[in-house]
Amino acid sequence: MIPSLLPTYNRVDLAFEQGQGSWLFTAGGERYLDLAAGIAVNALGHANPDLVEVLTRQAARLWHISNLYTIPQQQQLADMLVDASFADTVFFTNSGTEACELAVKMARKYWHDKGQEGRTRIIGFEGSFHGRSSAGIAAAGGDKLTKGFGPLLPGFTHLPFGDLDGLTNALSEGDVAAVIIEPVQGEGGIRPVADDDLKAIRAACDAAGALLIFDEVQCGMGRTGKLFAHEWSGVSPDIMMVAKGIGGGFPLGAVLATEDAASGMVAGTHGSTYGGNPLACAVGAKVVEIINDPAFLEDVRRKSGLLRQKLEGLVASHPDVFDAVRGSGLMLGLVCKAPNTDVLTACYDAGVLCVPAADNVLRVLPALTIEDDDLNEALARLETAAKTIEGQGT
Ligand SMILES: *Cc1c(COP(=O)(O)O)cnc(C)c1O
């Protein structure tokens, strides 16, 4: 018999009743150190007092009003994001997937309105993830996401990760509307695109006149120690998808774009019932205010250095369990030698939460606000997990 919850998730048998900072508590009172942060969503930790305050204050005033009307919280957050980024304009969604939908529509509409109706192809990269909708799975490609869901949305092709020659060739065909890429692949196993490669991709898009879409749903919002991951490379996209961290746990996503890239999206071309509602935008504005503070981002970079050093030590002292550390900022991946699912189980037993990813990686994605003491405790618990694996003689 089918469970009453559609069984699409591989859930672990753990239920949490409460969270505080980087800690989660079960109903039975067991504590878990959270290095998953809801998959890079709880950027400011659990039950962050500033976010609780802004959410409850807004909840007592107005939850929802519809985009038929002016929403001051939405305007405020858009202004903040425009001030803080390459973008001239912002559309709010409820998720990263919805941000992908709009990014794809925006890129195609751009060329349509320029009189190049045939310019519809979107190029993505293998190992990427852009959400579970029809556009999201088509953009990412790969059997794991797409098998059985055909016919897929047409007009997407995929290149191996880092295939710059392939990109130049594809762009030379003249039918490419846009290139979509995560500056740091998340689900794909914490694979950062080298800064020089991002620069080369930008240059190739410029040479061919194609739009460049960055998917910063996972790597954005301070995760890498800059507000947006692409800032490290010095190049910016034409369109960018943001979600996860921007709501701190409240569902919120956004598409940021330049005036030119957004030029096709005139009144009536897109919309959302909930997207940018007062609750989400009140929380989002507080999240952006907190993260986009030079001192906050500096501290993320400091903690990132500390954590990375500790993880390198962990890998060095458990060479049968781990192979390497990679990533950027507080978006780190432990490349495992033992099966990552086994290591994850040992982590749960040791009271620490990580997230599996492709390429036999365990993601370490703590709250950006994690305390130094908790980083030390995290390492102690990861050590315990590694010893458990060693004891199993893998
Ligand atoms: C999570 C994720 C998405 C999809 O976001 P949802 O909010 O789950 O719809 C898209 N792109 C990337 C890079 C992600 O990590």
C-beta of residue 74 within 8 angstroms of C-beta of residue 276 = yes
C-alpha 241 – ligand 1 centre gap (Å): 9
Mutating to test ligand 1, I would choose from 97, 102, 145, 161 the residue with most ligand atoms within 8 A of its C-beta, which is: 97
C-alpha 199 – ligand 1 centre gap (Å): 24
**Atom number of ligand 1 nearest to Cα 251:** 7
C-beta of residue 210 within 8 angstroms of C-beta of residue 179 = yes
299-305: long-range pairs with CB below 8 Å, 24+ = 300/222, 300/225, 300/329, 300/330, 300/368, 301/225, 301/329, 303/330, 303/368, 303/370, 303/372, 303/375, 304/224, 304/225, 304/328, 304/329, 304/330, 304/332
What pLDDT does residue 378 have? 98
Mutating to test ligand 1, I would choose from 130, 242, 365 the residue with most ligand atoms within 8 A of its C-beta, which is: 130
282: number of Cβ within 10 Å:
24
Residues within a 6 A CB radius of ligand 1:
95-97, 129-131, 182, 186-187, 215, 217-218, 243-244
DSSP 224-279: TSSSSGGGGTT---SEEEE-GGGGBTB--EEEEE-TTTTTT--TTS---SSTT-HH
Q: Cα separation of 107 and 210, whole Å?
A: 9
Find the DSSP H helices in the chain: 37-40, 49-59, 72-84, 96-113, 134-140, 143-146, 164-171, 195-208, 278-291, 294-317, 340-349, 372-391
- Hey, is 320 helix, strand or coil? coil
For atom 10 of ligand 1, the residue with the nearest CA is 130
Beta bridge partner(s), residue 47? none
C-beta of residue 76 within 8 angstroms of C-beta of residue 70 = no
C-beta of residue 84 within 8 angstroms of C-beta of residue 230 = no
Find the DSSP H helices in 141-194: 143-146, 164-171
Measured CA distances, 96 to 101, 244, 274, 331, 373 (Å): 9, 7, 14, 17, 32
- Low-confidence stretches of the chain (pLDDT beneath 70): 393-394
What pLDDT does residue 109 have? 98
Structure tokens that stand for 13 in this block:
């048998």
Measured CA distances, 98 to 103, 132, 271, 272 (Å): 9, 9, 11, 9
What pLDDT does residue 139 have? 98
Which single residue is written with the structure tokens 């900022």?
A: 329
**Atom number of ligand 1 nearest to Cα 136:** 10
C-alpha 97 – ligand 1 centre gap (Å): 6
For atom 15 of ligand 1, the residue with the nearest CA is 218
Which residue type occupies 340? N
Q: What is the dihedral of CA 344, 350, 354, 356, to 10 degrees?
A: 0
Q: Cα separation of 70 and 208, whole Å?
A: 38
**Atom number of ligand 1 nearest to Cα 218:** 15
Rounded to 5°, angle at Cα 370 from 230 and 378: 110
Mutating to test ligand 1, I would choose from 128, 223, 244 the residue with most ligand atoms within 8 A of its C-beta, which is: 244
C-alpha 145 – ligand 1 centre gap (Å): 13
Mutating to test ligand 1, I would choose from 39, 129, 185, 331 the residue with most ligand atoms within 8 A of its C-beta, which is: 129
Structure tokens that stand for 283 in this block:
């929380």
With 0.95 as the threshold, say if the pTM is over it. yes
Task: Specify the DSSP class assigned to residue 223.
Answer: T
What pLDDT does residue 117 have? 96
User: What pLDDT digit, counting tens, does each position of 111-146 carry?
Assistant: 999 999 999 999 999 999 999 999 999 999 999 999
Length of the chain: 394
For atom 11 of ligand 1, the residue with the nearest CA is 130
